[in-house]
Amino acid sequence: MTSTLKVAAIYLLSLMLVACGGGGSLSNDGGGNPTPSTYSISFSVVDEQGGAVDHVNGELSASAPWTVQAKVTKDGSAQSGVTVTFTLADGEVASLSKGSDTTNSDGVAEVQVLAGGKKGSVVLSARLTDNTEATLSFDSAGDGNSTTVDIAKLSLFASSTQLPSSGTDEIELIALVQDSANALLEGIEVQFSASSGQLSPGSAVTADDGTARKMLTTLNEAENREIEVKAVAGGKEQTLMVKVVGTSVRINGPSSVIVNDEAELAISVTDSDGKGINNAPVSLAASNGNFVGDTTNLRTDGNGQILVRYTASAAGQDTITASALNAQASFTVNVQQDNFAFQGLSNTTIKQIPINTDAIITINWSKNGIAYQGGTVTFNASRGQFNNSSVVTNGSGQASVTIRSSNAGVSAISAEGRDTNGNIVTARAEVEFVATVAHSIIVDATPDVVGPDGQTATITALVRDPDGNLVKGKQVNFTVDDTSSGKLSPNSGVTDSRGVATTVFTSEAVSSNEAVRVTATVADTPAVSGFTDLTVGARAFDITIGTGNFIVVPEGDNTTYMKEFAVFVSTSNGTPAKDVRLTASVMPLPLTLGGSYSKGYWQWNAILEVWEPIVTVTCDNEDINADGVLDAGEDTNNDTFLTPGIIGTLKFADNNNVTDENGRATLEYRYPKDRAPWTSVVIQVNSESARSEDAEDQRYRLDYSAEEANNENGSMAPNWFGRGLTCTDRL
């Protein structure tokens, strides 16, 4: 009953103030014109035993100090981790135990109030870093032991009036206290406060040189801004402004574009040390053009960057402005009325060019509908070579070159035109070089051992030319030699850009070992033929691999994810198979099964409140024949390695690879965070019995932590494969 009455008696004084989320760290500004956030501060006053105090009718005394509790809410929800700065209007009437406190999980910050040596009323202020403020008035009996020293002069200095935004530096705040005779005063408590940033902990009392000191930092608050620093002692107050500087915004992109054409812009936000600032809100504006997609809630990725696409809408000069953390950058684009485009190439279809064959590439250039003569056009290609890299347009406004490649694959081509006034226009397109001569074929079955009665295996045929290039567009015929009555469907396929044609084998009765033969033959080159053998048999064991939706982030490891897989082994009648020895392996998803990796970056989705992966391009697994060896023609991105390669490590939990009484074993797969979710792997488990070897595999796209993805103030690991737009480099 006593506890209930105590709670019921708590006296609350709530002062509600509204503040727009501006330059302070409490801002939740996502760019554009968001709805201002509303903060409020409410006070509670309790005694040393935690009982409620009626501060309106009561009086603070030396024998009964009070604790003032300030609760911070935002739109009605308690806010933890918020710095609250406390100050008193008259330091002789009362004093504070500290100048600031950080709110706890209930949104409460608190400070102890002690009676001073002067009787009267005093106002206590509580202020947030965004200048939201609330006040509390109370009376003091004046029976405290505060100093009666005559404080006539208070001066406030700083070791520097500028603080680097990176947070790696700090400045010293110095308060100098003197009496009316200008003598230095020792033992005087000085209350320091700052509108943002962080002050060093503990009380500040003047030493024998009359100075009290505090350190000021700006950790994880990279906004360019001014910090108002106050020092209060004996009713005297001084203010000093400290500037946080060094955060900058940069815009990179083409200096010239054509009306209605798109251009990619890279915006980077860096601190005073030149390091990218993660999760910084960026606002964009263009005087004449537009941006592709929603740009109202842009936030930088882990590298402090954002990629956006800009469309010019009118000829002339356009000024693009990017703003972030009170820094701003402008970028001028010359928008040309010119029609500058590749002839016969479009964004929807890719022109195919046989390898080792010259193909003509032509640019048409006109100004205001009239063919432009005398412009210099420079050509570039990510694959293949032009016979001439620079050509001058003729009387028809055309510049033509030939391109040839000795290896197959997609090539990103670009042209840059420069007129006699130095104005630049650009155009981009893609062509695909294809091999046309079938020379060899590799046939494979996945899996190569299947159960009877309708179990399936995927048959892939990989066709190459004499130089090892993948051959596209060839019809491959499939036939099966099987006395157990299995069948193929379909019986033919056409090779794709990966040189692969596929069919599916469906089993019937049990066969002897490797008694099923599937043959693949190139239709217009019958001499190019190959086969693979399968076995249809009742397995000694059935293996099942499964996993959940939970990702483990190992404690103390900021670079790794761990995923668990449960392996179940059962007999033919479904009972657990105990003491079965297992082996396991992990490999990249083969190209023949769609193996690939993606370039891209992370972007904060303010609507879903989650970091989401943005893919810029998807590239084929470079290990074409899945042999783990870098063969000629496989190193598409020219990094001297197979990409994506084998990623991470796979082991049995507690190094126990033998099934328990439930027929279960557990696998632990560890992989770097920067590979997720940009590629997939295959996890295979094998078991051995007296009669045969059984296997099961599972495809797994590298997953990432939902907890990390939901943390707006955190960052996701940058994509290890890059964020560029082509597969021919490591960008």
17 pLDDT higher than 60: no
Domain boundary among 245, 262, 295: 245
Residue 103 to residue 93: CA distance in whole angstroms: 26
- 700 shares a domain with 562: yes
Q: How many domains does the chain have?
A: 6
In a domain, 719, yes or no: no
Q: Beta-carbon neighbour count of residue 607 at 10 Å?
A: 8
In a domain, 213, yes or no: yes
Q: Beta-carbon neighbour count of residue 509 at 10 Å?
A: 12
User: Beta strand 424-434 with 351-354: parallel, antiparallel or unpaired?
Assistant: parallel
37 pLDDT higher than 70: no
CATH assignment of the domain containing 19: 2.60.40.10
- 605 shares a domain with 682: yes
51-90 confidence digits (pLDDT tens): 998 988 889 998 889 999 999 998 889 999 888 888 888 8
569-626 confidence digits (pLDDT tens): 887 667 888 899 999 999 999 888 888 999 999 988 877 788 888 888 889 899 988 8
- DSSP SS3 for 8: helix
- 215 shares a domain with 322: no
- 292 shares a domain with 279: yes
Q: For residue 27, what pLDDT is reported? A: 34
Domain boundary among 536, 570, 600: 536
Q: Is cis: bond before 490, omega within 30 of 0?
A: yes
- 705 shares a domain with 576: yes
In a domain, 727, yes or no: no
- DSSP SS3 for 700: strand
> pLDDT band at 247, cuts 50/70/90?
very high
Q: What is the mean pLDDT of the chain?
A: 86
- 695 shares a domain with 557: yes
325-365 confidence digits (pLDDT tens): 999 998 988 887 778 889 988 766 789 999 999 999 999 99
- 207 shares a domain with 175: yes
565-578 confidence digits (pLDDT tens): 999 988 766 788 88
**Is the CB of residue 171 less than 8 Å from the CB of residue 242?**
yes
- 560 shares a domain with 523: no
Domain boundary among 491, 514, 536: 536
In a domain, 310, yes or no: yes
Q: Residue 321 sits in which domain range?
A: 248-336
CATH assignment of the domain containing 695: 2.60.40
**Is the CB of residue 536 less than 8 Å from the CB of residue 511?**
yes
- 587 shares a domain with 524: no
> pLDDT band at 149, cuts 50/70/90?
low
409 pLDDT higher than 90: no
- 697 shares a domain with 550: yes
Q: For residue 473, what pLDDT is reported? A: 93
Summarize the confidence of residues 143-154 as an average pLDDT: 72
- 253 shares a domain with 241: no
In a domain, 716, yes or no: no
As given in the structure block, the two tokens for residue 105 are 């999980």
432-450 confidence digits (pLDDT tens): 999 999 999 999 998 888 8
Q: For residue 9, what pLDDT is reported? A: 33
**Is the CB of residue 278 less than 8 Å from the CB of residue 304?**
yes
- DSSP SS3 for 159: coil
Residue 365 to residue 391: CA distance in whole angstroms: 12
Residue 591 to residue 497: CA distance in whole angstroms: 11
In a domain, 722, yes or no: no
- 571 shares a domain with 699: yes
**Is the CB of residue 545 less than 8 Å from the CB of residue 563?**
no
Most confident of 12-16, 200-204, 277-281, 315-319: 277-281
